[in-house]
Structure 1
């Protein structure tokens, strides 16, 4: 399954195109179609973001771009591979105009990606409602359920304080196989500070970039770096692949390659177009693994029977499915709302970009990307091996568990002078699983995403429900598969020793 030859082939083809045709042609070949030059749909002035879904073909997408323009909008980016067009318009009647236009028969669905106008790029509009400049967990933004977090500066902690690595056998696994540099793990997050001593040289900058500019990938120099005050992605990256260099900490898979893909805007949101861009970039560049410690804003639970959510949900699902078809396996955080994902009822957390709807019926709705097919859904455990109090759970939803409480990892020194901190969340659990998947991809280079996920679950350490569990948070299921831990605690050592 290793895609290094495919990456090398693309790079050679791009270089040849540049040599033969000049910079303009190379730019066209290197990415999705450019935005339509309709200045009235720049950020501000009530501009909304939309997705339009059509057939997965260049012909259909080209016609939908025309439909978008005729409806008074502009195309930001398109993905013919999955039949998705990301557009913007200031016209409140844009959706109806697309559905009633000349190419309406080609449109599967169209809808907004948020409930408030675009603010990315608008001067003075940083950090969304309720978002904190120094967020501790992306799963807890925008007034969502508070997370049990202890943000502590840890001076040169060393491996001795990494209970999490010992719990999953990562310390022993590193001595056997630290992972292959041919395996790329995409950290879809708020960027990685690769100036950190434990991350220096660990991030492939040529594969890194920013997806928050309306969902169009920006691979320019430094685009992948975190904004001032951001640290989430840097902490996640350390857990996955901090170097075994005799100082600081060591990640689950210190031998693999990291790629930083920013999907979190400076306002603190992960909108559908950014997530789509992240998964499509992972697919196009042949990543083996992605980590997703977030849920797609502005809805904690996306419902396909709600017209203002269905199109964006469909577009994200298509991107995730396409990435899997291209060989990418993904881990995602289950969430920090202490919620039973297997028995959803109501939610009052969304939308988080405007006014949340109290007691919204979310029966049958999904948390994206963690509940999408093929994604490894990860709950969080404590140092004692119990389910973290903040962690979501759900029989048949949770695939595996990993340590997520008080996890020590890398921090930008501009935020934590020591360069390390201990924080909690399912955001901290998911990268342990991404690291184990990277080890499995290293030892099973020809395995498909589904086969890697199956190995992950088969090798997990059986973890039974506690003897008693509160009625408000019941643990149901067997020792091998239950609501709290899924198939059990992930096992890094088994990933490099079991055939």
Structure 2
């Protein structure tokens, strides 16, 4: 068993590891000045002003996270590790983190002796070989954070540009009950579609930038992928670098989120909450939908580096649904150490992004859980070890980033404005761990799922779209839709990939981007607002909602109409929020 945390008590020693081969050159891609030493960077390195990622040389090794006590010393610590031949894969100078991927069993002991290092931990037990298959073919990992909207007998629709009767509406906008519920069309009519100078970061599984509803919206030059594939769970690396191209989204989750925020008003498919703003794709989710610590905090930091205004986070940091200070009872020392690092580094990253002007929005979670009194967690760890029943104390444990400081946490409602039965809640509404509600769709999905953009490649892989771009019978049953330019009929092939594809999903993952898009409209109306002021505008203008007579399976509703554990301060209201921001701006 790995000893999970090591306190530094010694000065730098000679580590004595053979230097791995790294190709020469000084290529960096985009961003502001690099947080690197004066030495030339290897080919394949990318950087922002605080985050540098390096080519992976040992893809099958354990991923270690090194905590630097003083973030100002991060570069010096990283240079010591690099100089000793350690295979560093990322350096984050804003929060004091270095990540290393290595197969060397002695790395932890060596790294702990480096001057400036306060802790070293990994999220994987070396004895763990990967998820086991159960009888249904599902892995031991938790379910994806959103649920496909499957319903039988619903025919696929191919709508062409201009087919909608609503002026300036895109073809499927009449299906977007969530936009109507939050008053997005009214906000757009009154104040426009948002300012192109406002940027929202989609910290997620990636964004398919070839999708016709997103291709002109995503700023590819500023986008980054911070994820290095882990072969033990992701399978063989598709790229020599084990880093997928930034233009791809293997799961579809991030593309769906992106469309809700800012799908273009272009005569195809759907229109987002803020179709006039720009998106930046900051990928932190792996091929299998896991959000590990290092990629996640690097993405949050990069959002601040890239002058992003809003960041949407529809995930929790794996492998712990709840990270507990000192670990939960029964956790191993290694597991406790990784949870301590998760709490510390996510906290540092959120504080840094907030202080640099990023409004942070996150999904509450889909576990029917109570953040105020979590009880037991049977899903963790969902990577790196065997899940077991853990007793969770709300005083010591956090679901991150949702319960982090400065984060607007969002629960999910259906078309009837009732809490979705899967949505997490809190029995302590004054704690600030649940702030607003937004449309995420009911658990039953079907036609009430949230329809948004989806990558055609992912649909093809699942057999929902054929090789010529037609929606298959299976796709029709899963609610897949296609929208094409004029001249492409309902049964026509799409060899030039001009059509956009759309899928219905449900979850708090779908609720959060409704709030992120509204925040972007608010900032467009008053660019001088701070993140705290944006949060206050959203809260003050939310439509308050009283507790229902019938409680959720997650627990009773605590609080009153103005603030409760199901809806926070209420359902986000884009029209009222934008109006308030405009009045405040004068």
Q: TM-score interval w.r.t. the shorter chain?
A: 0.7 to 0.9
**TM-score, normalization by structure 2:** 0.71
What's the counterpart of residue 187 of structure 1? 202
Verify: 1:239 aligned to 2:239, yes or no.
no
Verify: 1:74 aligned to 2:73, yes or no.
no
Give 1:58 shift. 4.4
Give 1:180 shift. 0.6
Give 1:69 shift. 6.8
Counterpart selection for 2:111 from 86, 98, 102: 98
Deviation string for 1:422-445 (max 9, x for gaps)? 111111101101101111111121
Give 1:12 shift. 10
Distance (whole Å) between structure 2 residues aligned to residue 273 and residue 490 of structure 1? 31
What's the counterpart of residue 452 of structure 1? 534
CA distance 1:462–1:265, shift in 2 (3 Å): same
CA distance 1:30–1:450, shift in 2 (3 Å): closer
Deviation string for 1:341-400 (max 9, x for gaps)? 111221010111144332212212111111111111110001111000111111322110
Counterpart selection for 2:341 from 303, 311, 320: 311
CA distance 1:116–1:350, shift in 2 (3 Å): farther
CA distance 1:433–1:36, shift in 2 (3 Å): closer
Verify: 1:269 aligned to 2:290, yes or no.
yes
Counterpart selection for 1:326 from 345, 356, 378: 356
Please, which moves more after superposition, 90-99 or 259-268? 90-99
Distance (whole Å) between structure 1 residues aligned to residue 502 and residue 374 of structure 2? 37
What's the counterpart of residue 223 of structure 2? 208
Distance (whole Å) between structure 2 residues aligned to residue 311 and residue 88 of structure 1? 17
CA contact (8 A) 2:423 2:507 kept: yes
CA distance 1:428–1:472, shift in 2 (3 Å): closer
What's the counterpart of residue 289 of structure 1? 310
Number of matched pairs: 459
Distance (whole Å) between structure 2 residues aligned to residue 470 and residue 185 of structure 1? 32
Please, which moves more after superposition, 348-357 or 478-487? 348-357
CA contact (8 A) 2:364 2:410 kept: yes
Spell out the pairing of 1:209-224 with structure 2 (5 A cutoff): 209-213=224-228, 223-224=245-246
What's the counterpart of residue 18 of structure 1? none
Verify: 1:43 aligned to 2:43, yes or no.
no
CA contact (8 A) 1:55 1:61 kept: no
2:397 aligned counterpart, secondary structure: coil
Counterpart selection for 2:417 from 385, 410, 416: 385
Distance (whole Å) between structure 2 residues aligned to residue 200 and residue 36 of structure 1? 27
What's the counterpart of residue 141 of structure 2? 142
2:324 aligned counterpart, secondary structure: coil
Give 1:151 shift. 4.0
Verify: 1:249 aligned to 2:264, yes or no.
no
Verify: 1:168 aligned to 2:182, yes or no.
yes
What's the counterpart of residue 369 of structure 1? 401
CA distance 1:290–1:28, shift in 2 (3 Å): closer
Distance (whole Å) between structure 1 residues aligned to residue 114 and residue 505 of structure 2? 53
Distance (whole Å) between structure 2 residues aligned to residue 91 and residue 187 of structure 1? 34
CA distance 1:252–1:69, shift in 2 (3 Å): same
1:453 aligned counterpart, secondary structure: helix
CA contact (8 A) 1:407 1:424 kept: yes
CA distance 1:161–1:349, shift in 2 (3 Å): same
Verify: 1:62 aligned to 2:76, yes or no.
yes
What's the counterpart of residue 108 of structure 1? 118
CA distance 1:267–1:130, shift in 2 (3 Å): farther
CA distance 1:227–1:246, shift in 2 (3 Å): closer
CA contact (8 A) 1:74 1:89 kept: yes
1:82 aligned counterpart, secondary structure: coil
CA distance 1:28–1:301, shift in 2 (3 Å): closer
Give 1:164 shift. 0.3
Give 1:278 shift. 0.8
What's the counterpart of residue 85 of structure 1? 98
Please, which moves more after superposition, 458-467 or 142-151? 142-151
Verify: 1:347 aligned to 2:346, yes or no.
no
Distance (whole Å) between structure 2 residues aligned to residue 90 and residue 463 of structure 1? 53
Verify: 1:225 aligned to 2:247, yes or no.
yes
CA contact (8 A) 1:214 1:274 kept: no
CA distance 1:68–1:115, shift in 2 (3 Å): farther
Distance (whole Å) between structure 2 residues aligned to residue 226 and residue 285 of structure 1? 20
CA distance 1:154–1:270, shift in 2 (3 Å): farther
Please, which moves more after superposition, 160-169 or 90-99? 90-99
Q: Which has the larger helix fraction? A: 1
Deviation string for 1:265-298 (max 9, x for gaps)? 1233211111012111111111001111111111
Counterpart selection for 1:198 from 203, 209, 213: 213
Q: How much is the aligned-residue C-alpha RMSD, in angstroms?
A: 3.5
**TM-score, normalization by structure 1:** 0.83
Distance (whole Å) between structure 2 residues aligned to residue 29 and residue 196 of structure 1? 26
CA contact (8 A) 1:192 1:233 kept: yes
Distance (whole Å) between structure 1 residues aligned to residue 544 and residue 567 of structure 2? 9
